[in-house]
Amino acid sequence: MAKQDDLFKNVVSHAKEYGYIFPSSEIYDGLSAVYDYAQNGVELKKNIREYWWKSMVQMHENIVGIDAAIFMHPTTWKASGHVDAFNDPLIDNKDSKKRYRADVLVEEFREKINEKIQKDVDKAQAKFGEAFDEKQFRETNPNVVRRQQQIDEITVELTRVQEENDLEGFRQLIIDLGIVCPVSGTANWTEVRQFNLMFGTKLGASADSAMDLYLRPETAQGIFVNFLNVQKTGRMKIPFGIAQTGKAFRNEIVARQFIFRMREFEQMEMQFFVKPGEEMKWYEYWKETRLKWHLSLGLGRKNYRFHDHDKLAHYANAAADIEFDFPFGFKELEGIHSRTDFDLSSHEKYSGKKLQYFDTETNTSYVPYVVETSVGLDRMFLAVFSKSLQEETLEDGSTRTVLRLPSVLAPTKAAVLPLIKRDGLPEVAKQIVEDLKWDFNVAYDEKDAVGRRYRRQDALGTPFCITVDHQTLEDQTVTIRHRDTMEQQRVAIADLRNLINEDVSMRNWLMKMK
């Protein structure tokens, strides 16, 4: 655990020190669970957004994008169910006065049991090697069977108290499991209460005519209310999708995990409209396609897993999360939900407008079903950033910190460094920057010894360093150093553009999804 904490602290401090993420309004001591993206962070975030957008909109001829406003007519949130049901169960510990999400307390308790099972599995795997049959081990090992049974029982009761909104039962479950507050160590819990996560605000100047509004808690509803506009003006034929990225706001009860859980965050969502009855086929398709997108970034298959929802949201008939191994363990990164016709039907009811699709093949109208993919941009950022940050021991025993960002996402693609600050080398280096900047974000750095400049670019995640030396003046070649291998090559200045492009082009990275 201590190791995990250290790793996470490192991520947070590295993000600040290297200009990726700052606490919001820090000169006033910050604002809880709100963060600002700094000069490098904004580039990484923009690249992740673009990588998503291209894979969804540009690569699918039947998906288009929109950018709906954050403010929406307040009835939207009545129809979507958010006014009545967008709640989290909260519980306080009376001794520490700390507040928790009741469902998260139980889920974390359950995950700890799961980790124990995994340890036993890993141990047995190491012992028996090739001959190991994991399925059989899980079914027969008494410890594993007992623990799995405990997990199953917890899941059944957790699902029940949530579905029946049995708040007293929720509290009892926490007490029965012996869950204590990590701060006070006691089980002195208050009752469980439901808390609505939407931020309210007002539209209009005078107090009596002002209209109560909400800051949107998800971008999806901006897509649903525009379904017919897009379908008609884009002459879209089912199945088709509408994609959108943008800010969402949630008054989260507990927000202690940096940009994992923020009160203002950004989502990248796509609603895919399908013929009723075909939703499970598309649900499976999008689960697979979205996982491929994540894997194309090369952070490693073992860092992802699917988690099927035990308790389905009021709108869904199937739902799964893609979970990622964050510095604090496996947690939700993306949700894939089969939302049925809940949203469109409900908007039909509340607005009195028909939101149906006329199928020219069957000459019938119907309300389409929807499969949604929803990934948090900030969580994606944290996933990529935390896995990329590595401490390495080099052959000579020294260590280096390297941010191995997928080069397609790196904020700066190359740094151009004159070996020394005289003899005309800076002028040549600046000319290279001038030439490359039409295609890539490039940086120029002449301060400190070149070795230190390399280390700084490693820590910033820059895939290439281009060094201009005296030989450059004679033969128009430079050295190009690769961040990950630290290998250096002598290449012609004229070849730089192609060389960098080959490595960082979105086309080449997206091709890995094929």
Q: Where does this chain bind ligand ATP (CB under 6 A)?
A: 218, 250, 252, 261-262, 265, 267, 332-335, 374-376, 378-379
Residue 495 is given by DSSP the state G
- The number of beta carbons lying within 10 Å of the beta carbon of residue 322 is 21
Q: Which residue has the tokens 């194309």?
A: 296
C-beta closer to ligand ATP: residue 265 or 464: 265
C-beta closer to ligand ATP: residue 279 or 334: 334
Residue nearest to ligand ATP (CB): 376
∠ CA 239-240-246, rounded to 5°: 145
Structure tokens at 378: 């900030």
C-beta closer to ligand ATP: residue 231 or 267: 267
Rounded to the nearest whole angstrom, what is the least distance from the CB of residue 284 to ligand ATP in the complex?
18
* Spatial separation of the C-alpha atoms in residues 8 and 4, rounded to whole Å: 6
Contact yes or no for 299/403 (Cβ under 8 A): no
C-beta closer to ligand ATP: residue 282 or 381: 381
Rounded to the nearest whole angstrom, what is the least distance from the CB of residue 262 to ligand ATP in the complex?
4
Rounded to the nearest whole angstrom, what is the least distance from the CB of residue 197 to ligand ATP in the complex?
8
Going by C-alpha positions, the residue among 221, 257, 233 that lies closest to residue 346 is: 221
C-beta closer to ligand ATP: residue 64 or 262: 262
Rounded to the nearest whole angstrom, what is the least distance from the CB of residue 334 to ligand ATP in the complex?
5
* Spatial separation of the C-alpha atoms in residues 144 and 433, rounded to whole Å: 59
Strand partners, 91: 100
Name every residue whose Cβ is closer than 8 Å to that of residue 314 and which is 6 or more positions away in sequence. 81, 85, 342
Going by C-alpha positions, the residue among 181, 378, 255, 258 that lies closest to residue 7 is: 258
C-beta closer to ligand ATP: residue 231 or 386: 386
C-beta closer to ligand ATP: residue 266 or 446: 266
Rounded to the nearest whole angstrom, what is the least distance from the CB of residue 495 to ligand ATP in the complex?
40
Strands 464-468 and 414-418: parallel
Q: Which residue has the tokens 């995994």?
A: 118
Structure tokens at 131: 């001959």
Rounded to the nearest whole angstrom, what is the least distance from the CB of residue 104 to ligand ATP in the complex?
8
Contact yes or no for 91/174 (Cβ under 8 A): yes
Rounded to the nearest whole angstrom, what is the least distance from the CB of residue 295 to ligand ATP in the complex?
17
Strand partners, 64: 242
Rounded to the nearest whole angstrom, what is the least distance from the CB of residue 339 to ligand ATP in the complex?
11
C-beta closer to ligand ATP: residue 42 or 433: 42
